[in-house]
Amino acid sequence: MTSPDRFAALWRSLAPIGRTPNGYHRLSWTDADLACREWFLDEAADRGLRVQTDGNGNLWGWLGDPADGDAVVTGSHLDSVPGGGGYDGPLGIVSAFLALDLLAKRGRTRRRPIGVVAFTEEEGSRFGVACLGSRLLTGALDPQRAAGLRDRDGVRLAEAMKSAGVDTSGLGPDPDRLARIGTFIELHIEQGRALAVPVGVASAIWPHGRWRMEFTGQGNHAGTTRMADRHDPMLTFAFAVLAANKEARLRDGHATVGRVSVEPNATNAIPSSVTAWLDARAADQSTVDALLAAIEGRITERATRDGTGFAIEAESASPVVEFHTALRDRLASLLGGAPVLPTGAGHDAGVLAAHVPTAMLFVRNPTGVSHAPEESATDVDCAAGVEALATVLEELACR
Ligand code: GLV
Ligand code: MN
Ligand code: MN
């Protein structure tokens, strides 16, 4: 089999899980996620890896004994956004298994343990906090707060994990496990149109965050309430979406409102409240801060005019990440002068980078689309990603 065919064969074994006509739905601890986890266990077992589920629900497969320390760990996540693409996350895990196969074929002596990890709830699509598994592992998220996070149906994270058979008494920082990792490498599909060759290396992740916005007003009859008498939170919300877009454009930042919920959500009633989530990102923290302040200021002023209430609260914040410069440059040169590029997307690698020398490899995305069903990469480019990852693992774990 050629390398692209080998990639395609393993890809096909995972591809049907959670696939719907409207994209992938692999939210953490749902049946689709559990099936992905089973797939991980099978692939790890086929390669003789010892598998552990840590107290935060992250899956680890080990070649060698992690207790030896200075391990080289690679991996990504299996969960998706609702209606997402198949590559964001799983590509890094499929590539990790195939890179181990290539290493075995090359017959090099391993000098360090190698781990393959699948982090839990990277997207934050079910419980709201992105990179949940890696944040818990590294102590960046309070386990009490995490346990109490609820999904849209009111199910707590701790309940969801327990019903999947995971003991939640170990939720929280895991410094011993973290200390064993010498280097972390995440391979990921590139999520825009920034990569013109099959493989690149990440330089940085933009700072970004999520904010919950509550708009409150007076629920009332759509037919009998005079326009001048209304306190309609939908109006303030609509203004907020436009203001966020405008303020982001003014600063070369990104602002998105992609999720909204309306009460009572009736065609013939003025809503009593609207809850919406703002995602804001920019190349540097001062721009994110200025963007937020401008959006908040404009909405507050508009809410006064509409006679509505407005409150905003941060749900998660991710500071800028500059990946380990020496490691990044070493990998770019090892890969024949691979391009080095930043990204506006968040990753577990960004969380790990505060603790462990970390690097990311990107695989070209011809559509430039991500978090949507059109997200794709060619088998040829994915095979090039596997080759690159194997070369990196060989350099880091076999010398
Ligand atoms: C995760 O993919 C994010 O950037 O939100
Ligand atoms: Mn994503
Ligand atoms: Mn991802």
pLDDT, tens digit, 9 for 90 and up, residues 176-233: 999 999 999 999 999 999 999 999 999 999 999 999 999 999 999 999 999 999 999 9
* CA–centroid distance, residue 347 to ligand 3 (Å): 6
For residue 186, the ligand closest to its alpha carbon is: 3
* CA–centroid distance, residue 76 to ligand 3 (Å): 7
Q: What is the three-class DSSP state of 1?
A: coil
Is the distance from the beta carbon of residue 130 to the nearest atom of ligand 1 less than 6 Å?
yes
Q: Are 327 and 357 in contact, with CB atoms under 8 Å apart?
A: yes
Is the distance from the beta carbon of residue 345 to the nearest atom of ligand 1 less than 6 Å?
yes
Q: State the pLDDT at residue 320.
A: 98
* CA–centroid distance, residue 372 to ligand 2 (Å): 10
For residue 85, the ligand closest to its alpha carbon is: 2
**Per-position b or e across 290-300, b if 16+ CB within 10 A of its CB:** bbbebbbebbe
Joined together, the tokens standing for residue 194 give 């920034």
Distance CA 359, CA 333 (A): 13
DSSP conformational letter for 261: E
* CA–centroid distance, residue 87 to ligand 1 (Å): 13
Q: State the pLDDT at residue 399.
A: 85
Is the distance from the beta carbon of residue 123 to the nearest atom of ligand 1 less than 6 Å?
yes
Look at ligand 1, atom 5, and give the residue with the nearest C-alpha: 346
Look at ligand 1, atom 3, and give the residue with the nearest C-alpha: 346
Q: State the pLDDT at residue 300.
A: 98
* CA–centroid distance, residue 74 to ligand 2 (Å): 17
Residues with CB in 5 Å of ion ligand 3: 88-89
Which residue type, as a one-letter code, is found at position 102? Answer: L
Q: What is the pTM of this model?
A: 0.96
Q: What is the three-class DSSP state of 381?
A: helix
Closest atom, ligand 1, to C-alpha of 279: 5
Beta-bridge partners for 343: 205
The ranges of the chain with pLDDT < 50 are: none
Closest atom, ligand 1, to C-alpha of 281: 4
Closest atom, ligand 1, to C-alpha of 345: 4
* CA–centroid distance, residue 130 to ligand 2 (Å): 9
Q: State the pLDDT at residue 166.
A: 92
* CA–centroid distance, residue 135 to ligand 3 (Å): 14
- Out of 347, 348, 365, 369, mutate this one to test ligand 1's pocket (max ligand atoms within 8 Å of CB): namely 347
Architecture of the CATH domain 4-206+320-397:
3-Layer(aba) Sandwich (3.40)
Q: State the pLDDT at residue 144.
A: 96
Closest atom, ligand 1, to C-alpha of 370: 2
Q: State the pLDDT at residue 1.
A: 74
Q: State the pLDDT at residue 2.
A: 72
Q: Taking the domains of the chain in order of start, what are their residue ranges?
A: 4-206+320-397, 208-318
Which residue type, as a one-letter code, is found at position 130? Answer: A
- Out of 123, 125, 186, mutate this one to test ligand 1's pocket (max ligand atoms within 8 Å of CB): namely 123
Is the distance from the beta carbon of residue 346 to the nearest atom of ligand 1 less than 6 Å?
yes
> What DSSP string describes 97-165?
HHHHHHHHHHTPPP-S-EEEEEES-SS-TTTS-TTHHHHHHHT-S-HHHHHH-B-TTS-BHHHHHHHTT
Closest atom, ligand 1, to C-alpha of 122: 1
CATH code at 208-318: 3.30.70.360
* CA–centroid distance, residue 138 to ligand 1 (Å): 18
Joined together, the tokens standing for residue 285 give 């923290």
